[in-house]
Amino acid sequence: MLEQGTISIHTENIFPIIKKWLYSDHEIFLRELVSNAVDAIQKLRMVARSGEYGGDVDHPEITIILDREKKTLAIADTGLGMTAEEVKKYITQVAFSSAEEFVQKYKGNGDQEIIGHFGLGFYSAFMVASRVEIDTLSYKAGATPVHWTCDGSTEFTLEDGQRTSVGTTVTLTLQDDELGYLEPARIRELVRKYCDFLPVPIKLDGEQINKQIAPWKSSPSSLSKEEYLEFYRYLYPFQEDPLLWVHLNTDYPFVVNGILYFPKLRPDIDVTKGQIKLFCNQVFVSDNCEEIIPRFLLPLRGVIDSTDIPLNVSRSFLQNDRTVRKIADYIAKKVGDRLNELYREDPDAYVRSWKDLGTFVKFGSLNDEKFKKQVEDILIYRTTATLSTPAEEDEWSTQGGIVVDGQAYTTLKEYLERNKARHANRVYYCTDEVNQATYVQLLKGQGIEVLFMDSFIDTHFVPWLEQTYSDVKFLRVDAELDETLIDKDQSSEIIDPGSNKTRSEQIKALFESVLKKPKLTIRTEALKSGNSGDAPPAMILLPETSRRMQEMMAMMQQQLNVQLPEQHTLVVNTTHPLIQNLLNLSQGTIIQTSGSSETAALVEKLCHYIYDLALMSQRGFDANGMQQFSERASQVLTQLTAMAVR
């Protein structure tokens, strides 16, 4: 026996606490010990480059050996090994790491990265082991093998060893409640999770079990599209292929490598939870990158690898310091650059991806002023502009618009310029193509262009646009009627000598008396019809301010469906044949003599039915509303068919 001694412990690093609580997950021990083994191999390569070692460094490997009978797990490497003095210096002094000292000594002798900067990783072994042994032989000429043993107390034994090849083997005698780590499947799982991309082969039962190649460390020009996609499928199996990706590669003023993917945004994706994997020198650290990824990019997927991101002792908590903020800015800029590149070089692909990309771009514009300036010229909107001929499509494209599958897209700047003669500084937009189809068709019939802002983020994005474009008024299609939609020359304003009221006043009075809704405003207008005669008999208008207030309250109360405000406007179209026929029915002699007549009942049902149709065009009914509508529709149709067959 060469020596017996006591491990040196600083008061701030009490050994039992380190042994028991060093990491929240016990499985981390394998990552730490394999990382140490990779460090040892990288150090030997650096020593060889300096000319201090002439042995083989071209066939490195790490071997994991499981022995169920002995309850041991061993990790053997072909690294530089240690002398007895180095074991005492680097192993028996807790929290002393040799990595930085070594890097300083051999700086400039190679580009291998040294993983360890913490000095506590080795002691993670004691979270799962009742005894830890080290068998090591240094590369140094004349070195003798060393055997070190510790049972988890502060006592250790250092003696002559039996190892005959340069390198180190760390052997753990596992605690009884940690024997699951003797299962080969469990070891393969942990290597895949933490060590898959380490640049040294890791073998178990004679088979290499890690991929070894880290694509994000490669030059972007050396990777094909299929290789990028294969890497994504490997990281996120059973997912749809991504829309596009951004390759990060910089070493100044900080080191960041990575590949970030834009996924298709399915409804079940939590946009507030990051899914980017954080690595440090190709060692997996965490699935949590919230502090180094701008908030609006959290739904991105992929890998970020950096040695300049400060980690705490467990390597799982990121410190929010100046470097991290600079890295976040760099990532946001690279994403903005990539989006602009796609917009310029492949606008069709940009448009086809916009349904998903738009969420990132809009959210980024809301939250990051620098990013907003980067992307403000590539914010696009689907529009109702009809392009029916190739010549029209060509003209649209020359004006900066994009046409894909016959559908036109435009920027807000182009929209305002194109429509300044018709409605200067007004933007008409639609948030629900189905429920607002009547309103869209009415505007489109009069040549008014409507933008579709129908993603979930647009509820917040439209108010932001109003702040950005303070001189522009944004109006949802159901907010108010443009003057061009109203026919001012209709004869409906002629006074009826019998009632001394205009037809409009008579229609308004009829609906007020039947519907009996004091908070409902009845408004009569002569609406113009386009070529298809698409002006409805009635429609609901929701004033922009009150509607937004209702939506905000619903959001604060976490209501899934926004209720129709009680105070809304029913616009009755006095030029529609249904409304004219209804007025004529109401003025018949039978209904005038008896309010309970068959005709009077039909008029009431028709008024409710017309109001229901207007509500249905605004939004769908709930179960009770649909039942009432179905009953009324059945009654109206029954009565009309009965009258027709008489």
Q: Report the alpha-carbon distance of residue 469 to residue 391 in Å, rounded.
A: 32
DSSP assigned state of 376? G
Q: Which residues of the chain have pLDDT under 70?
A: 1-3, 6-24, 93-120, 266-272, 310-321, 387-400, 490-499, 530-533, 550-563, 588-596, 619-622, 646
CA distance 137 to 149: 15
Contact predicate 36/121, CB 8 Å: yes
Alpha-carbon distance of 423 to 450, in angstroms, equals 12
Q: For the segment 94-119, what is each residue's pLDDT rounded down to a tens digit? A: 544 444 554 455 455 544 444 443 34
pLDDT given for residue 626 in this prediction:
80
Which helix or strand (DSSP H or E) is residue 305 part of?
A: strand 301-305
DSSP H or E segment with residue 467: helix 458-468
Q: How far is 552 from 500, CA to CA, in rounded Å?
A: 45
Strands (DSSP E) along 199-294, which ranges? 202-204, 207-208, 244-250, 256-262, 275-280, 283-286
Specify whether the CB–CB gap between 68 and 182 falls below 8 A.
Answer: yes
Q: What integer pLDDT is reported at residue 453 of this predicted model?
A: 92
State how far the Cα of 409 lies from the Cα of 400, in Å rounded to an integer: 9
Around 87, how many Cα atoms within 13 Å sit in the side-chain half-sphere? 33
| H/E run at residue 475 | strand 473-476
Tell me: the pLDDT tens digits for 218-272?
Answer: 999 999 999 999 999 999 998 899 999 999 999 888 899 999 999 987 655 666 6
The DSSP call for residue 8 is B
Is residue 265 a contact partner of residue 356, using CB atoms and an 8 Å limit?
yes
- pLDDT of the residue at 311: 58
What are the residues whose beta carbons fall under 8 Å from the beta carbon of 553, sequence distance 6 or more?
Answer: none
What does the block give as tokens for 521? Answer: 């405003």
Residue 627 sits at the vertex; the CA angle it makes with 623 and 631, to the nearest 5 degrees, is 170
Kindly state the percentage of the chain with pLDDT values over 70.
80
The continuous run of DSSP H or E covering 156 comes out as strand 155-160
Question: Tokens in use for 618?
Answer: 């605004």
**Structure pTM?**
0.78
Structure tokens at 235: 């990281």
For residues 157 and 412, what is the distance between their CA atoms, to the nearest angstrom? 75
Whole-number Å distance between alpha carbons of 304 and 324: 12
Helices (H), strands (E): how many in the chain?
A: 21, 25
Nearest-angstrom CA–CA distance, 95 and 84:
18
* Distance from C-alpha of 9 to C-alpha of 199, rounded to nearest angstrom: 33
The model's pLDDT over 334-365, given as tens digits with 9 standing for 90+, comes to 999 999 999 999 999 999 999 888 888 998 99
**Model pLDDT, residue 512:** 92
DSSP state at residue 236 = S
> 198 by DSSP, 3-state: which?
coil
Q: Which value, in Å, is the radius of gyration of the alpha carbons in the chain? A: 37
pLDDT at 424: 86
Separation of alpha carbons 43 and 38, rounded Å: 9
Q: What is the mean pLDDT of the chain?
A: 83
Residue type at position 129: A
Q: Using an 8 Å Cβ cutoff, are 301 and 235 in contact?
A: yes
| β-pair partners for 313 | none
Chain centroid offset of residue 525 CA? 45
The amino acid that residue 487 corresponds to is D
**pLDDT (0 to 100) of residue 114:** 40
Determine how many CB atoms are found less than 10 A away from the CB of residue 55. Answer: 12
Q: Are 19 and 310 in contact (CB under 8 A)?
A: no
Residue 101: predicted pLDDT:
54
Smallest Cα–Cα separation from 629: which of 644, 615, 619, 641? 615
Cβ partners under 8 Å of residue 208, min gap 6 = 201, 202
- The pLDDT value recorded for residue 144 is 95
pLDDT tens by residue, 570-584: 999 988 889 988 888
Q: What is the rounded distance in angstroms from the CA atom of residue 637 to the CA atom of residue 632?
A: 9
Beta carbons within 8 Å of 88's beta carbon, 6+ residues apart: 5, 158
Distance CA 99, CA 307 (A): 13
